[in-house]
Amino acid sequence: MHKKRKQPWDVLFAIALAIIFGQWAGETGSIFGISFYSLVDTLGSLFLNALTLIVVPLVSSSIIVGISKIGEEKDFGRLGSKMVIFYVGTNLLAILIGLFFVNLIHPGHAIQANTLNVDSEKLHQIQSHLQNNQGSSFIQLFTSIIPSNIVQAFASGNMLGLIFFSLIFGYCISKIDEKSGTSLKNFFQGLFQTMIQFTHIIMKFLPYGVFCLVSKVFMTTGIHSLGSVALFFITVLVGLAAFMFVGLPLMLKIIAKVSPKRHFKAMYPALMTAFSTSSSSATLPITIDCVEKRAMVSNRICSLVVPLGTSINMSGSALYECVAAMFVAQAYGIEMSIMTQFIIIFMSLITSMGVAGIPSASLVAVLIILNAIGLPPEGIGLFIAVDRILDMCRTTVNVFSDSCCAVLIAKSEGEKQVLAQDV
């Protein structure tokens, strides 16, 4: 049983300290000839590696254990349709909130796109990445669902392939004879519990990991970089906040009839990890732990909804992509008709599903949207400087949205224990 723990304020403290330290030390600060940057970079990478290390065994064992308990085909169908409804529903809500604020605040009208300095090297990198992958990226994503070599899929961290294999594997276990089935189930149950213990050990290092990762970001991205894009920054933040602190809590309260405050408390460690790593995939072990052991969603639902959500339910990213595309249009003085805005909504919905749970993945999605509606791709250079900090915020929203979908589905399946008690 998960040990009860007071709210770890140490993590928030670590973030505040990291921001101050990062700004003070900058990229060049050093001690005894060792640069602070390389120090926090190395230690932060160790923390990230530890998190990524357990993703494959934790996710596969979690899904196999959960699915082997479902077994019935009609249950799969019902849970699958609920997932589609909640994923699309939350993403649409996020995009519409973003669209509302970008039309209200008009951040792009405050700047003159042609007079801005664009980080051309970074832009070039993203553009060539897009050129190499465009068109094939969605097909690649689609074909990666069924990998031809499972060892390779596990080794390369192909999440969709891993989820697909584990789903079918778990389902097949439920169909074999009881004697062999039970020993396999026990094995994966044991593996799952072991990986959860592993997660708890990593969580002990959370404040230190958070400190290193956040100070690294603030050493390279000074607050001054906000400059002319401050209004864009504020629009994205207000949109994300409205979705996370009003939209999702209302859904929790009205549809699931649970206390949003309790859910925030339950998800706190995962949200802090998402914020500091900017990677929903690396946060996945902690998200699973929080949803199952703190929000008390059953393994049957959590094992399905959370890993799949981490791969395709990116509400914060969808909102960001929509606001970014509108921002570029405004900056270039291009009037957006209702029809074009509709295309942006649709494209944000689709591209956010293809975005990987890694830092800055949305930048490529924004380029795809700009290309699709005929906006200048250089426009992305307008906000690259603030992308990293906004990435931390949208990743937090992505993770929170996945956890809300798990709670909503669990409650709709009649799970009374969900958020019945405070953590």
Beta bridge partners of 30: 35
Beta bridge partners of 64: none
Which pair of structure tokens corresponds to residue 49?
């590696």
Beta bridge partners of 31: 34
Q: Does 360 bind ligand ASP (CB under 6 A)?
A: yes
Print the binding letters for residues 367-396 with ligand ASP: x by CB under 6 A, - otherwise. Answer: ------------------------x--xx-
Print the binding letters for residues 219-258 with ligand ASP: x by CB under 6 A, - otherwise. Answer: ----------------------------------------
> In angstroms, rounded to a whole number, what is the distance separating the alpha carbons of residues 73 and 71?
6
Closest CB to ligand ASP among 360 and 412? 360
Cβ-based neighbour number of residue 22 at 10 Å: 25
Q: Does 362 bind ligand ASP (CB under 6 A)?
A: yes
Q: Does 357 bind ligand ASP (CB under 6 A)?
A: yes
Which pair of structure tokens corresponds to residue 330?
């405004």
Of 14-22, 239-247, 274-282, 333-341, which part binds ligand ASP (CB under 6 A)? Answer: 274-282
Judge contact between 104 and 326, C-beta under 8 A.
no
> In angstroms, rounded to a whole number, what is the distance separating the alpha carbons of residues 116 and 325?
17
Q: Cβ 277 to ligand ASP, closest distance in Å?
A: 8
Of 35-43, 86-94, 114-122, 360-368, which part binds ligand ASP (CB under 6 A)? Answer: 360-368
SS3 34: strand
Number of residues that bind ligand ASP (CB under 6 A): 16
State the Cα angle at 191 between 161 and 146, rounded to 5°: 10
Q: Where are the beta strands (DSSP E) in 284-362?
A: none
Q: Does 63 bind ligand ASP (CB under 6 A)?
A: no
Question: What does the CA dihedral 52, 57, 63, 66 come to, rounded to 10 degrees?
Answer: -120
Q: Does 359 bind ligand ASP (CB under 6 A)?
A: yes
Q: Does 287 bind ligand ASP (CB under 6 A)?
A: no
Q: Which of 203, 252, 355, 393 binds ligand ASP (CB under 6 A)?
A: 355
Task: By CB under 6 A, name the binding residues for ligand ASP.
Answer: 278-280, 314, 317, 355, 357-362, 391, 394-395, 398
